[in-house]
C-alpha cells in the first residue's frame, strides 16, 4: 500500500463544491471516478479542506492510499485523461504513510478578487465579486490590520460550522489594486467555514460605512456573527496555496 | 430615427459565434432580443465583423437604428438587464446617420493566447490554445516579420471565405511571453476568414520545424493554403480592439 499526495487545480463554477455529495457533481467525485478508472479500485481521497460551490483552486492537495502498481508520476497524465478540462492534476508525489493532507497543513492562502468597475468584464465574471464602485486602499489597509493576528474568529464563521475551537491565526492580509480589481491574499494557519468571505465582506462593509470599524473588536469579544459584514459571493474566492 | 453605436464584450464559449443563425444561440441574437425587450421594436444590429464559435471579444462594436426615445446612455444598463453575464454592453453613443460599424473600421486588433505549460491551468482553459511546450521567442519574432506588411493573404484564409480581394495590411504582430503564456497581438486594416488563426498556426508550425520558413513567401506568391500551418483553435482568440 502506498500513500500518494496529488496537487490539483479546478474551476469550481459548475460543481457543487469539492466534497462528495449524493446526486451532485463535485470535484471529489470527479477525481475519485477518475482514480477508479485508472486503478480499477474504489479510492477515497482526503483533501486539505473543503471548498464551496463556485469556489476555485489553483493549488489544492489531497492524499489517497492505493495498491496500484502505477508509477507515481504517471498518475498525473492518467487521471487528466479521465478528468474534464476544468479539473487538472498538476503533480503526484509518494508520501509517508503518516502524511495527512488536512491534518498536516501548516498554512493556507486564499485569493479573493473584487471587481470595482461598473460593468464587469464578462471574461472575468466567474472569478470576481462585483462591487461596481471603487474603494480607498488606505482605508482597507487600516481595517485589515485589526483582523490580522491570533483571535477567536467565531463571529467570522457561518452558523452551520461544526468547529469547536474558533481560535485561528491570520498571518497576513495583503491587498493590491490591479486595474479595476482589488485582490485580497489572505494567509493563515486554518480557516473556519466561510471565514475568508466574511473577512472580505466585513472589510468592504466597513469601507462602505455600512458598519462601524469598532464592530471588529465587538466580533472578537462577543463571537457574534451579527456584528460582521455580509458574506461575499463564492465565485470571487480561490484557494491559492497550501503549505505543509 | 437615431443611429446608435454600442461597444460590447463577450465570452464566446457557449455561443455559436457572433452572427445570427436559425436554431443557434449567438451573440447577435442575444443582443437583438435584449434590444427588442428594451425598445419593443425588432432591431437588426450591424457589427464590425463576425467572430466564430468560442471566440471572445473585449471590444466589439455594432450600430443599429431606432425610433425609441430612450436616452442613448440608458441603453447600457437597460440592455445589460436582459443580457446574460457573459455578454456586456460597455457603452452606447449616438453616431452620424452615415456611420457604419463594419465599413468605417480603420483597424482591428486581435489577441491570441497560447499556453505552453504541459498542464493547462483550468482557470484559463476557455481562453488559450494548448501547445504544451515552450517556443523560442527570438525565432517567432523572425518569422512574424515576414508576415507583417501589405500582402495578398489568400493563403491565410479559410477556403469557405467569400472575399474577392485578399490584399490586407498587417500593421504589427507583437509577441510577448508572460509566465507560461505567449500572447500574440495582431493589428491590421482588415482580416479574412480565419486569418488570425492561420497566421498564428503558421508561425507556430514553422517554429516547431513542421514546415520550412520559406513557405511564407510561397503562400504570398501562390495564394495556396496548403503551404501554411494549421488553423489554431478558436478559444485562444479574442477581438481586442477596433479603431474607427
ipTM field:
0.91
What residues of chain A lie within 8 A of the CB of B10, using their CB? Answer: 122
CA pair distance A37, A8, nearest whole angstrom:
18
Using only C-alpha atoms, chain B has a radius of gyration, in whole angstroms, of 19
The answer, yes or no, to whether residue B160 has pLDDT greater than 80, is no
pLDDT digits (tens, 9 = 90+) for A165-220: 999 999 999 999 999 999 999 999 999 999 999 999 999 999 999 999 999 999 99
pLDDT digits (tens, 9 = 90+) for B176-211: 999 999 999 999 999 999 999 999 999 999 999 999
CA pair distance A187, A176, nearest whole angstrom:
14
Mean pLDDT of all residues in chain A?
A: 97
Q: Choosing from A52, A65, A134, A241, which is the catalytic residue?
A: A52
Burial string for A7-31 (b: 16+ CB within 10 Å, else e) reads: bbbbbbbebbbbebeeeeebbbbbb
Contacts for A136 with CB less than 8 Å, ≥ 6 apart: A207
Domains of chain A: 2-95 (3.30.70.580), 107-243 (3.30.70.660)
Give the model's pLDDT for residue B159. Answer: 80
CA pair distance A35, B224, nearest whole angstrom:
47
Kindly state whether A125 is in contact with chain B, defined as any CB-CB distance less than 8 angstroms.
yes
Question: Is the Cβ pair B125, A86 closer than 8 Å?
Answer: yes
Cβ-contact B244, B105 below 8 angstroms: yes
Kindly state whether A15 is in contact with chain B, defined as any CB-CB distance less than 8 angstroms.
no
* 3-state secondary structure at position A116: coil
CA pair distance A182, B73, nearest whole angstrom:
27
What residues of chain A lie within 8 A of the CB of B122, using their CB? Answer: 9-11, 85-88
What residues of chain A lie within 8 A of the CB of B86, using their CB? Answer: 122, 125
Is the sign of the CA dihedral A181, A182, A188, A190 positive or negative? negative
The position carrying cell 505552453 is B116
Q: CA of B159 to nearest chain A CA: how many angstroms apart?
A: 30
Kindly state whether A124 is in contact with chain B, defined as any CB-CB distance less than 8 angstroms.
no
Tell me, rounded to whole angstroms, the distance of Cα A209 from its chain centroid: 27
Contacts for A169 with CB less than 8 Å, ≥ 6 apart: A149, A150, A188, A189, A190
Amino acid at each position: 500500500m502506498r500513500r500518494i499526495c496529488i496537487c490539483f487545480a479546478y474551476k469550481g463554477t459548475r460543481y457543487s463544491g469539492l466534497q462528495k455529495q449524493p446526486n451532485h457533481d463535485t470535484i471529489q467525485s470527479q477525481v475519485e471516478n477518475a482514480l477508479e478508472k485508472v486503478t480499477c479500485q474504489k479510492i477515497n481521497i482526503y483533501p486539505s479542506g473543503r471548498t464551496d460551490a463556485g469556489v476555485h483552486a489553483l493549488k489544492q492537495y489531497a492524499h489517497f492510499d492505493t495498491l496500484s502498481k502505477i508509477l507515481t508520476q504517471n498518475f498525473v497524465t492518467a487521471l487528466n485523461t479521465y478528468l474534464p478540462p476544468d479539473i487538472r492534476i498538476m503533480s503526484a508525489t509518494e508520501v509517508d504513510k503518516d502524511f495527512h493532507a488536512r491534518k498536516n497543513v501548516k498554512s493556507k492562502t486564499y485569493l479573493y478578487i473584487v471587481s470595482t468597475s461598473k460593468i464587469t468584464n464578462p471574461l472575468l465574471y466567474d472569478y470576481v465579486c462585483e462591487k461596481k464602485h471603487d474603494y480607498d486602499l488606505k482605508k482597507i489597509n487600516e481595517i485589515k490590520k485589526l483582523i490580522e493576528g491570533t483571535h477567536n474568529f467565531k463571529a467570522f464563521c457561518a452558523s452551520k460550522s461544526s468547529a469547536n475551537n474558533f481560535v485561528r491565526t491570520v498571518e497576513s492580509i495583503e491587498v493590491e489594486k490591479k486595474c479595476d480589481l482589488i485582490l485580497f491574499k489572505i494567509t493563515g494557519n486554518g480557516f473556519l467555514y466561510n471565514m475568508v468571505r466574511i473577512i472580505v465582506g466585513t472589510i468592504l462593509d466597513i469601507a462602505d460605512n455600512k458598519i462601524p470599524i469598532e464592530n471588529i473588536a465587538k466580533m472578537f469579544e462577543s463571537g457574534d456573527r451579527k456584528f460582521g459584514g455580509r458574506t461575499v459571493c463564492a465565485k470571487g474566492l480561490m484557494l491559492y496555496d497550501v503549505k505543509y
